[in-house]
Chain A
């Protein structure tokens, strides 16, 4: 990776979820809940999988991947019964347990990062904000609704491309770019001060 920007790292770790499961606010909420549940399960099982002769890192990671997938598949299949989720987004809910963000906390813990809990929590707060903001932006601009309710008066014409793949890519790209600009400005400011 070229940049150590935290927001950029988090967006990339959850990229497929951010792209595929943010077409509406409800979908984004479901994606966040499913991802968080998968991450909690993975984090809970991780400490029991200590490295031994038989438990190689590859086997350990395979088990963690399978656990993350099982949780997201089950919850992703239940979600459409609870919330109105578009059919195309269901696949992304079901595979959201396979995204690197799910394994981020366990990887930080295993690597011996001292403040892994704070770091992981920070990453998850950023991820939650990005997913929810993307869902809100894409639904408001792409459909002219919030959580399915019309907000605008008759003259507002939704920009359809925001709910299409084009809009899905534009939002995280803009988030990463803004995060980089912000980090760069911060760097310039602190450089100017010192």
Chain B
């Protein structure tokens, strides 16, 4: 396995941005409506996240460490605008616009990708993170839907179930080691 392939799988699984490195955890916990209706939003988020990671990763490598945060936040805000134009993040969440939910994962993923330090590795890790986020969004959408339909009392549904499920998935992913 080449270094690039290994990094792709690492980013997808053992550094999954939702289950293992957390930056997308809030978004995935509160946004997916159900398994079936999560596919299109997950694909949109995955695509926008991928290109924002590429852009942020490449530009931050070019401008250097001091200016890099300006690149991260600029790319994140542009990505949020794109997502809103694409029909996502338009609702409110707890009295504030849902766009706030996407800011942390967008910046966090760019920082993680930029840490690779080389273009081919930036592309591989961006691909892995985007695919990992897409998969996590679908999985949690399914878990959220299943927990809603169960006959258990309401207090045992949705958010705690999702977080406990994430813990179990993290436990499983910790077993994936590619070296």
Q: Which residues of A contact B (CB under 8 A)?
A: 1-3, 8-9, 12-13, 15-16, 19-20, 57-58, 61-62, 65-66, 69-70, 73, 91-92, 94-95, 98-100, 103-104, 107-108, 111, 161, 164-170, 172-174, 176-177, 180-181, 183-184
Per DSSP, chain B at the interface is: helix
Residues from 55 to 94 in B contacting A, C-beta threshold 8 Å = 69, 72-73, 76-77, 80-81, 84, 93-94
Shortest C-beta distance, A75 to chain B (Å), equals 12
Q: Residues of B at under 8 Å CB distance from A? A: 19-23, 25-26, 29-30, 69, 72-73, 76-77, 80-81, 84, 93-97, 99-101, 103-104, 107-108, 111-112, 148, 153-160, 163-164, 166-168, 170-171, 174
In the assembled complex, which residues on chain B have CB atoms less than 8 Å from the CB atom of A100?
26, 93-94, 96, 100-101
Complex-state Cα separation, A59 to B119, whole angstroms = 32
A161 CA to B170 CA, complexed, in Å: 11
Q: Is the CB of A180 within 8 A of B77?
A: no
User: In the assembled complex, which residues on chain A have CB atoms less than 8 Å from the CB atom of B174?
Assistant: 164-166
A170 touches B164 (CB 8 A): yes
Q: A15-B25, A169-B167 are in contact. Are A1 and B155 (CB under 8 A)?
A: no
- Whether A180 contacts B155 in the complex (CB less than 8 A), given A65-B100, A95-B107, comes out as yes
**Contact assessment for B171 and A12 in the assembled complex, using a CB-CB cutoff below 8 Å:** no
Closest chain B residue to A102 by CB distance?
Answer: B100
User: Residues of A contacting B170 with CB < 8 Å?
Assistant: 164-166, 168-169
CA distance A131 to B108 in the complex (A): 20
Indicate whether A16 sits within 8 Å of B77 (C-beta atoms), given known contacts A176-B159, A177-B155: no
- Nearest Cβ in chain A — how far from B124, in angstroms? 19
Known: A1-B30, A100-B94. Is A69-B159 also a contact (CB below 8 A)? Answer: no
Contact indicator B95/A165 (Cβ below 8 Å): no
User: What separation, in Å, do the CA atoms of A65 and B153 have in the docked complex?
Assistant: 37
Task: Please count the residue pairs between chain A and chain B whose beta carbons lie under 8 angstroms apart in the complex.
Answer: 144
Contact across chains for B154 and A99 when beta carbons are under 8 A apart: no
Inter-chain contact B157/A2, CB cutoff 8 Å: yes
Find chain A residues with CB under 8 A from B153 CB. Answer: 184
A19-B25, A168-B167 are known contacts; what are 13 more A-B pairs with Cβ within 8 Å? A2-B154, A9-B94, A15-B29, A16-B26, A20-B23, A61-B97, A65-B73, A107-B95, A161-B171, A166-B174, A173-B159, A173-B164, A177-B155
Cross-chain contact B111 with A176 (CB below 8 angstroms) = no
Q: For B173, give the chain A residue with the smallest CB separation.
A: A165
The minimal Cβ–Cβ distance linking A19 to chain B, given in whole angstroms, is 4
Cβ contacts under 8 Å, B111 to chain A: 91, 94-95
With known contacts A61-B97, A73-B69, A98–B154 Cβ distance under 8 A: no
Contact (A108, B107) CB under 8 Å given A2-B159, A164-B170, A165-B20? no
- The listed residue with most A CB atoms (<10 A of its CB), out of B97, B108, B163, is B163
A13 and B94 within 8 A (CB): yes
For B23, give its contact among A3, A58, A95 (CB under 8 Å). A95
Contact assessment for A166 and B22 in the assembled complex, using a CB-CB cutoff below 8 Å: no
Q: How close is B152's CB to chain A, nearest CB, in angstroms?
A: 12
